[in-house]
Amino acid sequence: MASSLGGASVSQTDDFETFTPTTDVEPLKRAWRNEKAAPEILPFEASLVGRIKEQIQLMEDTIEEYSRSGIDPLIVSLYQMDLDRTQFLLRSYIRIRLQKIEKYMLYILKSDELFRRLSEEEITFTDRCSHDMKKHFDESVLSKLPNNYQDILRQSIISEEDDMVPEPPLDTFVVCKSKEYLEHIQLEDEEERASSRVEEPFEMEANVLHIIRYKPIKSLVESGRIDLL
* Confidence check: pLDDT of 158 > 90: no
**219 falls in which pLDDT band (50, 70, 90)?**
very high
Give, as one character, the DSSP assignment of residue 118.
S
What's the CA gap between 7 and 2, in Å, rounded?
A: 9
What's the CA gap between 204 and 208, in Å, rounded?
A: 7
* Confidence check: pLDDT of 16 > 70: no
Average pLDDT over residues 81-95: 96
What is residue 152's predicted lDDT score, i.e. its pLDDT? Answer: 82
Residue 194, CA atoms < 13 Å, CB-side half-sphere: 3
* Confidence check: pLDDT of 3 > 60: no
Set out the domains of the chain in order of their start, with CATH numbers.
2-103 (1.20.58.1030), 104-167 (no CATH), 173-228 (3.40.5.60)
What is residue 19's predicted lDDT score, i.e. its pLDDT? Answer: 53
Per-residue pLDDT of 174-215, as tens digits, reads 999 999 999 888 877 656 655 555 567 889 999 999 999 999
Torsion of CA 208, 209, 213, 216, to 10 degrees: 20
**5 falls in which pLDDT band (50, 70, 90)?**
very low
What is residue 12's predicted lDDT score, i.e. its pLDDT? Answer: 56
Phi-psi region of 183 (alpha: psi -120 to 50; beta: other; left: phi over 0): beta
Per-residue pLDDT of 25-70, as tens digits, reads 999 999 999 999 999 999 999 999 999 999 999 999 999 999 898 8
What string of DSSP letters covers 138-172?
HHHTGGGS-GGG--SSSSSTT-SS-TTS----TT-
Share the mean pLDDT of the chain. 87
What's the CA gap between 46 and 167, in Å, rounded?
A: 25
**23 falls in which pLDDT band (50, 70, 90)?**
confident
Collapsing DSSP states into helix, strand and coil, what is residue 189?
Answer: coil
What is residue 14's predicted lDDT score, i.e. its pLDDT? Answer: 55
What is residue 2's predicted lDDT score, i.e. its pLDDT? Answer: 38
Give, as one character, the DSSP assignment of residue 214.
H
pTM: 0.84
Percentage of residues in the chain having pLDDT higher than 90: 61
What is residue 143's predicted lDDT score, i.e. its pLDDT? Answer: 83
